[in-house]
Amino acid sequence: MGDCMKKNNWILIFTSIFLFVILGLIYESKMIHKIDNSAFKFFEFFRTNALDSFCYFLRDFGSSKVYLMFAAIILIYSIIRKRIWTGIAFLITLLTARVLVISVLKNIYERPRPSTMFYLESGYSFPSGHAVMATCFYLSLIFILFVLQPNLMKYKRIIQLLGLTIIFLISMSRIYLHVHHLSDIIAGWLIGYAWYSICKNTFIFLHERKQI
């Protein structure tokens, strides 16, 4: 379990936060606007009814209800493994990420959603809540699985690739459905990674001091 208990680099964490802040200052610039529009146009080449249905599935699969359901399963499993604080830490990471994005950051930036939305989505656009939650959830899930089931470390690369692929697909579906700009997604990845890393480092810090 030693490899999974390595703390994430604080330089990367602060860099992610710094880049998020910069992106929050320039997302209305012509350059970002052009990049965002190019992303919308890119997905127009691949638009099909089947892909529409798949992206709607990803929208629902990346919802808070699904994450909380999986979190409850992890919490129950952590109790069975007599590592209840591991499950609680996982749940806290998800809940605080949701509050951080929906209740704080979105209301700070108040960026409107794209006017070409495929369906009516409420709330503001920046950063993408789906991108933040997917990043926090799947990175945290990978870490927690290695803590609860150390023998899974032999499949580390495969599990990490699977998690990153799901994060990418959920995030890209938001652009495909025109409910988020590419810059919203990148911002979501940045702040999602930063929050996951802060929670992970806090967990390891407390674990090393036998607090959990």
Over 60: is that where the pLDDT of 202 sits? Answer: yes
pTM, two decimal places: 0.88
φ and ψ at residue 90, rounded to 5 degrees: -65, -45
Tens-place pLDDT, residues 107-163? 999 899 998 877 878 888 999 999 999 998 899 889 888 888 888 888 889 999 999
> What's residue 3's pLDDT?
57
Distance CA 171, CA 128 (A): 8
pLDDT band at 70 (very low <50, low <70, confident <90, very high): confident
Over 90: is that where the pLDDT of 180 sits? Answer: yes
Question: Averaged over 56-70, what is the pLDDT?
Answer: 88
Distance CA 156, CA 2 (A): 13
Q: Any idea which of 11-25, 76-90, 149-163 has the lowest mean pLDDT?
A: 76-90
Measured over the CA atoms of residue 185, residue 191, residue 195 and residue 200, the dihedral's sign is: positive
> What's residue 7's pLDDT?
66
pLDDT band at 67 (very low <50, low <70, confident <90, very high): confident
- Ramachandran category for residue 123: left, alpha or beta (phi over 0 → left; psi -120 to 50 → alpha): left
Among residues 26, 56, 35, 32, the alpha carbon closest in space to that of 121 is found at 56
pLDDT band at 15 (very low <50, low <70, confident <90, very high): very high
> What's residue 210's pLDDT?
64
**pLDDT > 70: percent of the chain:** 94
Please give the mean pLDDT across all residues of the chain. 86
Q: Which single residue is written with the structure tokens 């610039």?
A: 29
Cβ neighbours for 167, distance < 8 A, ≥ 6 positions apart: 131, 134, 135, 138, 139, 189
> What's residue 211's pLDDT?
55
φ and ψ at residue 117, rounded to 5 degrees: -55, 140
- Both tokens of 104, joined, read 């704080």
